[in-house]
Amino acid sequence: MAARPLSANGDRHSASLYSQTNSIPEIARFKNENIILLQLDFPSRTTRDYEGPMVSPMIQAAIENAMKDEEHIELDAK
């Protein structure tokens, strides 16, 4: 008995053109259209991380006291 013939690309079963096209990686599908693959060139960073304003410790303490929910607020003045 003769062996079963192999498909054209060496697979065990025949495959449709649609399945053969989907088996090719996405990047290689358009190679015949002279498209060049380039790596992305990201621009340098133009922003900085936020740094809060420098506040003296006395002013910071006054702000924290003002934010408290107390009826009587005491401030130390020097």
pTM over 0.85: no
Q: Over 60: is that where the pLDDT of 29 sits?
A: no
- Where in the chain are the domains? 13-38
Mean pLDDT of 27-34: 61
Q: How many residues appear in the chain? A: 78
CB 46, CB 40: distance < 8 Å: no
Distance CA 31, CA 55 (A): 60
CB 6, CB 12: distance < 8 Å: yes
Confidence at residue 5, expressed as pLDDT on a 0 to 100 scale: 58
Backbone phi and psi for residue 66, each to the nearest 5 degrees, phi listed first = -70, -25
